[in-house]
Amino acid sequence: MRLPARADGPAMQDLVARCPPLDLNSAYLYLLLTEHFPDTCILAEDDDGLLGMVSGYRPPGRDDTLFVWQVAVDPRARGRGLGLDMLLGLLSRRSPRPAHWVETTVGPGNRASRGLFRRLAVRLDASLNETALFDAALFGAGTHEAEPLLRIGPFTPPVPESDRNP
């Protein structure tokens, strides 16, 4: 697992395209993620290419919160806990302002993502609360389901792997 680099933008977009029901964004957006938010994104890869990614950012004025935008796991890597490993890896990065809260939006029909964030809350020994955020009507008539806000925390950030005892 590693930070994204500018050259990863196209592969990130290709990965998301292979991961419905995630919303596919423009190539430009994935390039911006690599350029402006590499510290809040993580990639997982093997010899055959990109296996997974988590994209996120710190909401303005809330340095204690990581907003997770997308979690994508290639179909060939599903069922192995990669999504959870990437989230924990991202949260365990050394930072002068570690996150004590995770927020994300997940539609009611996206059971895989909802399960992932439930597992993350359990692993962090933190509560998970859901509140309304973006009603379906805001996305246009019949184009998208609602996106409620999931908020996990507060929690103590995981210890970086390099600091763990062997």
- 21-72 tens-digit pLDDT: 888 999 999 999 999 999 999 999 999 999 999 999 999 999 999 999 999 9
How does residue 134 score in pLDDT terms, banded at 50, 70 and 90?
confident
Top pLDDT among 135 and 57 is at 57
CA nearest to 121, candidates 163, 151, 96, 76? 151
Return phi, psi of residue 3, to 5°. -70, 150
The answer to whether residue 165 scores a pLDDT higher than 70 is no
CA nearest to 99, candidates 120, 129, 70? 120
How does residue 130 score in pLDDT terms, banded at 50, 70 and 90?
very high
Q: What is the DSSP string of 124-160?
A: HT--EEEEEEE-GGGG-TTTS--EEEEEE---PPPPP
Measured distance CA(153)–CA(54) in Å, rounded:
19
Domains and CATH numbers, the chain: 6-163 (3.40.630.30)
